[in-house]
Amino acid sequence: MQTNRKNSATTIIPAKKRKLISYEGKWGLLLVSPYLIQFIMFVIAPLIASLYFSFSQYDMLNAPQWIGLENYEKLFNEPLFYKSLWNTLYFAILFVPAQAFLALLLAVALNQKIKALKLYRMAHFIPVISSWTVVMYVVDAIFNPRFGLANSFLIKLELEPQKWLNDEQQVIPLLVLVAVWKGIGYIMIIYLSGLQNVPNELYEAAEMDGASSIKKFKSITLPSISPTTFLVIVLSTITTFQAFEQIYVMTGGAADISAAGGPNNASLVLMLYLYREGFSFLHMGYASAIAWILFIILFILTLLQLWGQKRWVHYH
Amino acid sequence: MKKKLLPAFLSFVFILSLLLAGCSGDSPTGNDTENSDSEQVTINLGYYSGGKSDEKMQELINRFMEQHPNIKITTQSSPYGQFFQKLDTQIAADEAPDVWLSDGVLVMKYAERGAIKDLTEWINRDLNKEDYYGLDSNQDTDGKYWGVPQGIQIGALYYNKELFDKAGVEYPSEDWTWEDLKEAAAKLTLDASDKKPNEDGFNSENIKQFGLTFFSITEGWFSVLKSYGGGILDESLNNSVINSEENKQAFEWMVDGMSKGIITDPADLNSFQSPMAVFPSGSAAMRIGIYARVLAANEAGLNYDVTVLPKGPDGERFSPVITNSWVINNSTSDKKAEAAWEWVKFWATEDEVQKEWAALGEAVPVKKSVAQSDTFLNSTDKPENKQAFLESFDFAGSLDTNAVWSEWVAKFNEHARRAFLEEQPIEEALENADKDVQKILTDFYNE
């Protein structure tokens, strides 16, 4: 629609002077203005401000001072930045496929006609609506190195007890495990609606041809829900890059921000690094630079995903 | 026509309400125009708190307003973490309270960035400095005062009498050195199968009861470094002195204790809900603790007492002191600042206020007369030997607090952790910590 109008405006010279905005357009603008105003006040304005801050030295208590590219230079020379960038990527690489795959399996299972279906669906959704603080207590009961269930289980099996979240190698995989468990219900719901939109005729036709269940899944279900998978992957990539609360709560940030980030900064992700620099150390300019780099990375990743979707996403 | 007006009207109302919601937010500094009647001044007071202390604060504020009918106090309070996070953004927006309660370690952060008022003249004029504990800890290197103490936290050695009795070890004495402490602590350490560190088959990886719990700067390494003659910053607070022989010795004492399982190392601590919980839960026989830790110990019903912290090898002692203080917003009007000063004076000079606050048991009273009175020393609550906290003032010092305190502490902790967990030799950790801390200091002070 929009492109059509644009074309007509450029190719056909209107007889009368066209109004800048039509009557309907004015109404439209008026009706969306609550959102627009909010968008400008709380999204666009802070966005511009943070861009400005990223080129200045700003401690929040005094006016920002323009220092050009210094924050970015500092950033690219800071080992902790690369470490937190790697930690974030590592988290995403483990989390995004694991969550999508397991949620799909779960959704397929819960798309059957089985007894107490609603109960199962609900059970998987409970972690989604629980707060991270509550989740932390559950996780602690299991993975506490001294009193946790996991270690007493290992000891029973005469295996070495583990340090879990206190171990540099284990901390990110463990955080991913918990994040998958907590988020899976949400993604499962998205998949369920995707599955229910697959036309039944396709299955019926396949059955007439004598296709096996696995064959049906591979050739009908997977391609049909590929737009859903695409949505899920884009969404969860973005959430991973913004992951903050989980890691803040589960690696001790609530008690001591300098401890947040796990043993030897093994779980220091970009958002946590940003928070620590900005709000604990008052390097708001530097933190803004981190935010912009984060934005650019996410933007590129999303573009790549959009470009890649042509190869595997099928729309009806 | 009427039909068309309705949506217009609705959206108008909606936009308006949205704008109002966006703009309202209580802006205490906004309605400054009190030149109308009888010199009424309204000041906004900010403090961090929770539960019991919140009620008491409100009560004291009401009493203050009765005594000063021309001053009205509005308050804003929130739990510790949120309070300071909000405060920084409020200062940035020029919306901060006219007077607020600052954690002692953060006073210099605000002072050196020009966010709070220099109170030197007023303190010289109105307060008798000899009357107070902790006034000096809000003094900068130029001798200016930036805050007035509200309550004092000072470190002492807590010990669990029950665990000492059970192990047949004598209670800590005032003559203890850190070596004495470690010897006693070794007798108080038990692994999961109830073995002691000198017994065969003792497993230092799986400790049930630690001799000493030890963490962070305040309740861990700082007093040890200082009493060994080491430390973090020089007198100017602009230079690191981390890489020293004294610090190395202190670290050897700490790392040795941790590797033997006598002292909690950073990884041990993570197995508790909170590092604070080790002592009150009875999982450690001793702790280095500030005064506020009596609350948790009493709540847990522990049979414990306190004494002064041990001496270093040369007989030196050090007890960390944190002076939580009232500070006044630098950008507030003169009139409001004066009203705020009245409140600060009310708090500092009135014995009754000090006594009532002391009764909450959160801090050592700042006024010496109250701290040395029966109200504080002989209250029925444990610990019995509250005198130890007052004695500790003889060898007390600040935590080298300066404008970038939180930042250098985080950096130092990072390196100390590696040494504590023996991931890095002590010399190397100290060398790296020295370099990194110095960089933080240089970045801030040599701009």
Any A CB within 8 A of B413 CB: yes
In angstroms, the Cα distances linking A286 to A22, A42, A71, A296, B112 are 45, 21, 5, 16, 20
CA distances to A22, A23, A35, B11, B16 from B4, rounded to whole Å, are 16, 12, 21, 12, 19
Torsion, Cα of A156, A159, A163, A169 (10° steps): -140
Spell out, as residue ranges, where chain B has pLDDT lower than 70: 1-38, 447
Chain A CB contacts of B113 under 8 Å are 59, 61-62, 282
Peptide bond into B383 cis (omega under 30): yes
Contacts of A189 (CB under 8 A, 6+ apart): A121, A125
Of B17, B88, B439, which to mutate for an interface test with A (greatest number of A Cβ within 10 Å)? B88
**Cβ contact B323:B152 at 8 Å:** yes
Instruction: Note whether A163 contacts B: Cβ–Cβ < 8 A.
Output: yes
pLDDT tens track for B266-286 = 888 877 777 888 999 999 999
Identify the H or E element spanning B73. Answer: strand B71-78
Compute the mean pLDDT over every residue in chain A, rounded to the nearest whole number.
Answer: 87
Cα–Cα nearest to B275, from B219, B347, B351: B219
pLDDT above 70 covers what percent of chain A?
A: 91
Provide the token pair at A315. 């729309």
What is the interface pTM, i.e. ipTM, of the complex?
0.78
Stretch (H or E) spanning B256: helix B245-259
pLDDT of residue B437: 97
Closest listed residue to residue B110, CA positions, set B322, B408, B328, B320: B328
**In terms of DSSP H, where are the helices of chain A?**
2-11, 23-39, 45-54, 70-76, 79-109, 117-129, 132-143, 149-156, 171-196, 200-208, 213-216, 222-224, 226-241, 245-250, 270-275, 284-312
Nearest to A163 among B267, B274, B407 (CB): B267
Decide if A257 and B91 are in contact by the 8 Å CB cutoff.
Answer: no
Most A CBs within 10 Å: which of B15, B270, B435, as the mutation test of the A interface? B270
Q: How many Å lie between the alpha carbon of A131 and the closest alpha carbon of chain B? A: 17
Residues 6+ apart with CB under 8 A from A24: none
What is the least distance, in Å, from the CA of B282 to any CA of chain A?
A: 15
Across the interface, do B270 and A252 touch by the CB < 8 Å criterion?
A: yes
| C-alpha–C-alpha distance, residues B425 and B422, integer Å | 7
Enumerate residue ranges in chain A where pLDDT < 50: 1-9
Burial of B206 per CB tally in 10 Å (0-12, 13-18, 19+): middle
The tokens of A80 are what? 């902790």
Interface of A with B in 232-271 (CB under 8 A): 252, 254-259, 263-265
- Under DSSP, the state recorded for B411 is H
Q: Using CA atoms, how far apart are residues B343 and B354, in angstroms rounded to an integer?
A: 13
Number of residues written out for chain A: 316
Who among A60, A145, A161 is closest to B91 (CB)?
A60
Contact between B225 and B427 under an 8 Å Cβ cutoff? The reply is no
Question: What b/e readout covers B17-37, taking b as 16+ CB neighbours within 10 angstroms?
Answer: ebeeeeeeeeebbeeeebeee
Radius of gyration of chain B (CA): 25
CB B190 within 8 A of CB B196: yes
Name the token pair of B142.
């130029």
Distance between CA atoms of A178 and B423, rounded to whole angstroms?
28
Q: How far is B22 from chain A (nearest CA, A)?
A: 9
Cβ atoms of B106 and B86 within 8 Å: the answer is no
What is the Cβ-side half-sphere exposure of residue A218, based on CA atoms within 13 angstroms?
5
DSSP string, B124-139: HHH--GGGBSSGGGGB
d(CA A6, CA A28): 18
- Interatomic CA distance for residues B75 and B365, integer angstroms: 22
Token pair 């000493």 in the structure block, residue: B212
Q: What is the β-pairing status of strands B207-213 and B190-191?
A: antiparallel
Cross-chain Cβ contact B410/A257 below 8 Å:
yes
DSSP string, B294-341: HHHHHHTT--EEEEPPPB-TTS---EEEEEEEEEEBTTS-HHHHHHHH
Q: Look at residue B31 in the predicted model and tell me its pLDDT.
A: 43
Q: Could you give the CA distance from residue B262 to residue B245 in angstroms, rounded to a whole number? A: 24
Residue B151 near residue B363 (C-beta atoms within 8 A): yes
Paired residues of A131 in beta bridges = none
Beta strands in B79-215 (DSSP E): 99-102, 148-154, 156-160, 190-191, 207-213
Q: Which of A41, A59, A166 sits opposite B267 (nearest CB)?
A: A166
Q: What is the pLDDT of residue A11?
A: 53
pLDDT of residue B269: 84
Residues 6+ apart with CB under 8 A from B424: B415, B418, B432
Please report how the helices A226-241 and A171-196 are oriented relative to each other, as an axis angle in degrees rounded to 10.
Answer: 150
Per-residue confidence (pLDDT) for residue B161, from 0 to 100: 97
Q: How many of the other CB atoms lie within 10 Å of CB of A5?
A: 10
Quote the pLDDT of residue A255. Answer: 57
Q: What pLDDT does B27 receive?
A: 42
Going by C-beta distance under 8 Å and a sequence separation of 6 or more, which residues neighbour residue B141? B235, B236, B237
Helix (H, G, I), strand (E, B) or coil at B209: strand
Q: Which residue of chain B is at minimal alpha-carbon distance from A266?
A: B414
The 3-state DSSP composition of chain B as helix, strand, coil percent (nearest 5) reads 45, 15, 35
Cα–Cα nearest to A60, from B93, B108, B97, B95: B93
H-helix or E-strand spanning residue B67: helix B52-67
How far apart are alpha carbons A50 and B317 in whole angstroms? 48
Beta bridge partners of B148: B326
3-state SS assignment for residue B151 = strand
Distance CA B11, CA B349 (A): 57
Name the burial class of residue A90, with classes exposed (0-12), middle (13-18) and buried (19+) by CB atoms within 10 angstroms of its CB: middle
- Residues of B with CB below 8 A from A264's CB? 414, 417-418, 423
Question: Which token pair is A123?
Answer: 């059970």
Token readout for A284 is: 């708001």
Q: What local confidence, expressed as pLDDT, does residue A254 receive?
A: 58
- Taking residue B307's Cβ as centre, other Cβ atoms within 10 Å add up to 21
CA distance B307 to B157: 5
